Structure 1
Amino acid sequence: MFFYQKKKYSNFFSSDIKIHVYGTSFTIHTPCGKIDISLPFLGYQNISNALAATALSFAVKIPLKIIKIGLLNTPIVSRRLELITLAKNKILIDDTYNSNVSSMISAIKVLENMPGYKILVTGDMAELGEKSVLYHRMIGNTANLSKINKVFSVGNISNEITKVCNNGKHFFNKKHLSEYLKKLFLKQEQITILVKGSRSTKMEEIVEELIKESKKKC
């Protein structure tokens, strides 16, 4: 059993959680002691991953100091909540590796804790079956209740997200969306843009356009 915070009878749990712009810091408690960890990963889900990895390592009798070294050397996976600093106070989060309901909710939570003007850019969540419209609207309602300033969508069904958002706007192609984002990028003194979508939507094309634009301004 493992938890974010201490629970009665839990063997592995975390405490002293601190979420910051460039990652997450926390303490992992085990039956044989505790370790302080600071990881360059965004989102609470990575705390759960670290706890699971610790429990598995503990089961095969790996010492805590070796577990800590392993966690600290975990590589950042490209396009999975990958933080990119475009300029001073201008942050881009590339989460275009894939998308589903749970990862979208996690992404919204991450974006809420980021500084400045916050924009969620989303493509379709693919392969959701008969309830696809319902799930997209659910994400729209989640975003609507968050501290995100704007939600932009592009794709065949992602408009179901933005149509229920008070601050939503749908685009019919990525070119127009990219141009709109570039203007906001220049206008806002401090901004965080998170881009996400299923693999088939190729939302990384928007990320690449924003990176190109930032290099022009350097």
Structure 2
Amino acid sequence: MMWLNLSEIADMVQGVLEGADTAVEGISIDSRTIKKGDLFVAISGDRFNGHDFVEAAAAAGAAAAIVSEPISAPLAKVQVADTVEALAKLAAQWRRRLEITVLALTGSNGKTTTKEMIANILRRCRRVIATSGNFNNHIGVPLTLLSMREQHDIAVVEMGANHQGEIRKLCNIAKPDIALLLNAAAAHIGGFGSLDGVAKAKGEIFESLSASATAILNKDDNYYDYWRQLLTKQRIIEFSLSDEAHFRLLSSRGQAAELSLAGQSRTCRMQLLGVHNIANALAAAAASYAAGASIDDIVAGIESAAAVAGRLKVRRGIKGSHLIDDSYNANPGSLEAALSVLKQTSGEHWLALGAMAELGDRSVAFHARAGKQAKAMDVHRLFTVGDDAAIAADNFGKGGESFDSVDTLIPHIKAQLKPGVSLLIKGSRAARMDRLVSALSSTNETAH
């Protein structure tokens, strides 16, 4: 189905049309995923140049391309100065054309899980488009917005950042009607300089809100007061695990949580593990309520939400062990939440920890604390991967071992595993701890 004409796109991105005006049906930055009729945007990065793949995109069926270099490929083009900026301009213009609610969320921890819960709730009552996976940066947010079509009436857009000003720029593109701020923690702190810097950057999500917009705030966060004063005339909805709020936890036992949802007391039987996921559920409930979901839809959506791959997903391990796969990413806050989940499991508790990245000059201190924290939370054995993570093993003391790579850890831990062990696997993406999960899983099914 026709989406936009290339001449329209050229006007929207302030580019120059070269070749015949043609209609495009979708958009892609990856020549391997091109569908017939798509617009290919030749994005360049530190280790690749999208212009090298324009011919491949044309061969795969691309109808046109946005480029910033001379290209001889046999398809129409829009020439621009910067393809990344052009992608942002196109997304901003397209967002303004559609009468669609945009719900944006950010935070240091829990973004993708909460985004998936919100989408799970809202699909019961609205026509939803949502961020795919965690594609939440200056490329992913525009692509999410450009996937919106007239049949949708709400977009759930996850926003991430590793430096000041990034959320502000994303919000200037997306212009959210509802903005959810989950928390601020020591994630990407190397790029923000300090925890105060993290909180300030996350607070940028509120800067572009109109007076008629809605802000969702975590009343438990240490930066609540700072974020609250950024808001003036906007509607504010709060959530909390322990304080009076529009959406709050009343009590919990096992996987059952009694929640107060806009004044209604309801029991939710959650599939997701950990108290932090109750906070995520409350955040999702508040945001979905702001978007028009009923309390019944909210409860059904929370109860049916399953763990996202690599985020506290329980799997059967070899030799009768159980794996808690939290390998997607790691920072000090998410590690603490994961250790709390591990502590609640039966049997002997082991932790395999890859280095936590982007902690700047505080990396040594944070890894030292991680080792001591693991010991204090009844971890019996600690296996680390990487130089910084080795500091955690040193501070853990007896039972701590360090390894240069996942490849050297895999045979060692395979030989050590035994029935009754609960093994938490965690690390930043660069540590590739997902390879350890694959090596130690007995099946591809989750444990029950």
TM-score normalised by the chain length of structure 1: 0.86
Provide the rounded CA distance (Å) in 2 between the counterparts of 1:13 and 1:4: 5
- The offset of 1:63, in angstroms, is 1.8
After superposition, residues 40-189 of structure 1 pair within 5 angstroms as 40-86=271-317, 90-166=321-397, 167-185=399-417, 188-189=418-419
- The offset of 1:88, in angstroms, is 8.3
Instruction: Give the direction of change, closer, same or farther, for the CA distance of 1:87–1:204 in structure 2 (3 Å limit).
Output: closer
- The offset of 1:173, in angstroms, is 2.7
Unaligned runs of 5+ in 1: none
1:192 aligns with 2:422: yes
Instruction: Give the direction of change, closer, same or farther, for the CA distance of 1:25–1:164 in structure 2 (3 Å limit).
Output: same
Provide the rounded CA distance (Å) in 1 between the counterparts of 2:405 and 2:298: 46
Partner of 2:433: 203
For these two proteins, the number of residue pairs brought into alignment is 205
Provide the rounded CA distance (Å) in 2 between the counterparts of 1:13 and 1:173: 42
**Counterpart residue identity of residue 317, structure 2:** L
Partner of 2:245: 10
Provide the rounded CA distance (Å) in 2 between the counterparts of 1:174 and 1:49: 31
RMSD value, Cα: 1.8
- The offset of 1:176, in angstroms, is 3.0
Instruction: Give the direction of change, closer, same or farther, for the CA distance of 1:51–1:88 in structure 2 (3 Å limit).
Output: farther
Post-superposition Cα deviations, 1:72-98, rounded to whole Å, max 9, x if no partner, equal 232421111111023685211111111
Larger radius of gyration between Structure 1 and Structure 2: 2
Bigger relative contact order, structure 1 or 2 (CA pairs below 8 A, ≥6 apart): 1
- The offset of 1:3, in angstroms, is 2.3
Provide the rounded CA distance (Å) in 2 between the counterparts of 1:36 and 1:18: 11
- The offset of 1:32, in angstroms, is 3.2
Post-superposition Cα deviations, 1:13-61, rounded to whole Å, max 9, x if no partner, equal 2133123xxxx32011134312211121112111001111112223344
Provide the rounded CA distance (Å) in 1 between the counterparts of 2:403 and 2:318: 26
Provide the rounded CA distance (Å) in 2 between the counterparts of 1:152 and 1:114: 19
Between 136-145 and 31-40, the greater mean CA deviation after superposition? 31-40
Provide the rounded CA distance (Å) in 2 between the counterparts of 1:75 and 1:91: 18
Between 50-59 and 154-163, the greater mean CA deviation after superposition? 50-59
Aligned residue for 1:153, secondary structure, equals strand
Provide the rounded CA distance (Å) in 2 between the counterparts of 1:71 and 1:39: 7
TM-score normalised by the chain length of structure 2: 0.44
Unaligned runs of 5+ in 2: 1-237, 444-448
Following TM superposition, the consecutive aligned residue runs of length 4 or more in structure 1 with deviations greater than 6 angstroms are none
Provide the rounded CA distance (Å) in 2 between the counterparts of 1:90 and 1:104: 21
Aligned residue for 2:342, secondary structure, equals helix
